[in-house]
Structure 1
Amino acid sequence: MKNTQLKWIFLCVLSLIWGSSFILIKKALVGLTPMQLGALRTLFAAIFLIMFSFPKLKGIRKREWKWISISAFLGTFIPAFLFAFAETEIDSAIASILNSTTPIMTLLLGAIVFGVVSSRQQALGVVVGLIGSCLLVWAGSEINPDQNYWYAGLVLIASVCYALNVNIVKKHLQQLSAVAISVGTFAVLVIPATLVLIYSGFFTAEIIQSEVVHTSLLYLVILSIFGTAIAKILFNKLIQASSPVFASSVTYTMPIVAVVWGLLDGETFRFLQIVAAFVILTGVYLANKRRN
């Protein structure tokens, strides 16, 4: 199958998987702290990938481990905790929409850090997208005054991490298979995630025996296997089959899935938030649109 067809298939599947991830994070946080969620999410995904793909580690050359390690922390480890903390204060649907700024951050950092030339139209898209993000945060704080919308900034930081990661994978790890990159990523993160889990106080009788925690762990296993491990492989394949900006445009359709899940779970989504979401996606479209 040609790359043109493959990239659209990967994009659609990732939209469904990652669009559902936000509600799974919300459900897992009922019985787990953000630190526990981030660490366990990483460890469950690592166990799954290493069990089935351990031999792939042999194909990673010594000089590539540096970039895999950087990619591991920027593209997986840090965002896992940022989203967990963010969703303690803001709705899962809002987090998914703010995450759609990733293509904008990809474009910005591609120009600043990696020397990728941008057009005036793309620059306009960046401005429009950032205005939409500010509008969405303001609208959310007005509609839900009991929620701390400073936590929305954590999602934007995660978007910056993702943007750096896609540029790194495209520039420095293009020659490696997507599975090798993914299993290498989680092999790097096993020790840091274990240390965080121990520090989080997870290993106590009260937590381990709690039925609420057991339910949260079920949601987390689903999130880890599909939303982290399998999605990581698909996303690396998408980056290699397309461009960094196209790969990050998976955030166009993720919010649709996430908003539906949020509404089904009783979250409120008002007209002003719809307008803000439309402004963000317009900015993403302009930033991602090819020049004639």
Structure 2
Amino acid sequence: MQQSEAPPLKAWLLLLLLAMIWGSSFILIKKGLIAFRPDQLAAIRIASAGFVLLPFLMRRFRIVQRHHWPKLISVGLVGSFIPAFLFAFAQTQLPSGVTGVLNTFTPLATLLIGVLIFQQIVALQQWVGVLIGLAGTVILITANANGDFQFNAYALLIILATVCYGINLNLIKHHIPDLGALTITGVSLFLVAPPALIYLLAATPFIEQLATQPDSYFSLSAILLLGVVGTAMALVIFNTVVKITDTTFTSSVTYLIPIVALILGVIDGEPFLAEHAIGMAAILTGVFVANRRAQKRKSPA
């Protein structure tokens, strides 16, 4: 029983790979925004991610039953579609490194969603972790180069995205236990890819920009890499880790994501303030406290 509680080596290796991929996503969003609007970036990202997995899904559609479809649509919306737009719009006003740090609120959002929606039992120490993480989030949202506190509403878009991720984590774990990771990822992404592509081609000047915008192909390459690797491949890995471990362990990938994001952001010339370091430390401390308590409660079983 105790062995089943310890995450296997495969889970740790996948978690590290996932951190590298997702930690690079924020700088790719930044490069994609050079030539395209945030709504275009999100649409390209989702469309490329949804269609790239289609060749691997033809036989898997047959195992999806009627009761799965609403759940898979929900996974596609809250796990990919909505967050893609939220991150793209947020990074028009936030450095990529700070965005990566704010993303560390995901494990705490997962915990809160588990309590509010899925009746998960939470210990006092987990609530302490949530409060510490919230304090760190407030510091990040109000940090600026002038040294005074100034509210940045765009940071709330990232927090809303982490809430979407929290809902998605719990939905996969508790309501779709009978489907594999590739089926969940591929089908859910494919369901939201056509609306994204239709919006991109019908409601935005995408084709015209490709022909006239000097940096359009550079930005498009960054977004396609973000969609194919940073979304499609990463979500297959992510859902695999959810299946073989638990939601708390999987969401702890955000311990490593901000390190990658901040390093890449600094290399790209972004400022890193003392408030950013304090806020990140507080959020990661909160995640550690909440996660540590959850593991300790499981170990005697």
Measured against the shorter chain, the TM-score band is over 0.9
* Residue segments in structure 1 that go unaligned for 5+ positions in a row: none
* Among 250, 255, 258, the residue aligned to 1:252: 255
Partner SS, residue 176 of structure 1: coil
State the one-letter code of the partner of 1:182.
T
Conserved? CA contact 1:140–1:273, under 8 Å: no
After TM superposition, the structure 1 stretch with the greater mean CA deviation from structure 2, 178-187 or 19-28, is 178-187
For residue 209 of structure 1, report the CA deviation from its aligned partner: 3.9
Q: Does structure 1 residue 127 correspond to structure 2 residue 112?
A: no
In the alignment, what sits opposite 1:33? Answer: 37
In the alignment, what sits opposite 1:111? Answer: 115
Q: Does structure 1 residue 169 correspond to structure 2 residue 172?
A: yes
Q: Does structure 1 residue 46 correspond to structure 2 residue 43?
A: no
In the alignment, what sits opposite 1:186? Answer: 189
RMSD: 1.8
* Among 228, 240, 244, the residue aligned to 1:241: 244
**1:155-174 deviation line (CA, Å, top 9, x unaligned):** 00000000000000001112
Q: Does structure 1 residue 18 correspond to structure 2 residue 52?
A: no
For residue 187 of structure 1, report the CA deviation from its aligned partner: 1.8
Conserved? CA contact 1:121–1:287, under 8 Å: yes
* Among 176, 199, 220, the residue aligned to 2:223: 220
After TM superposition, the structure 1 stretch with the greater mean CA deviation from structure 2, 10-19 or 51-60, is 51-60
Partner SS, residue 187 of structure 1: helix
Q: Does structure 1 residue 262 correspond to structure 2 residue 265?
A: yes
* Among 272, 283, 287, the residue aligned to 1:284: 287
Distance 1:142 1:121, change over 3 A: farther
Q: Does structure 1 residue 64 correspond to structure 2 residue 68?
A: yes
Distance 1:272 1:203, change over 3 A: closer
* Residue segments in structure 2 that go unaligned for 5+ positions in a row: none
Q: Which runs of 4+ in 1 moved over 2 A?
A: 51-55, 140-145, 202-211
TM-score (norm 1): 0.94
Q: Distance in 1 between matches of 2:91 and 2:32?
A: 11
Q: Distance in 2 between matches of 1:199 and 1:144?
A: 44
In the alignment, what sits opposite 1:81? Answer: 85
Partner SS, residue 140 of structure 1: coil
Aligned residues: 290
Conserved? CA contact 1:6–1:241, under 8 Å: no
**1:48-106 deviation line (CA, Å, top 9, x unaligned):** 11133332222211111111111110000000000000000000011111110000011
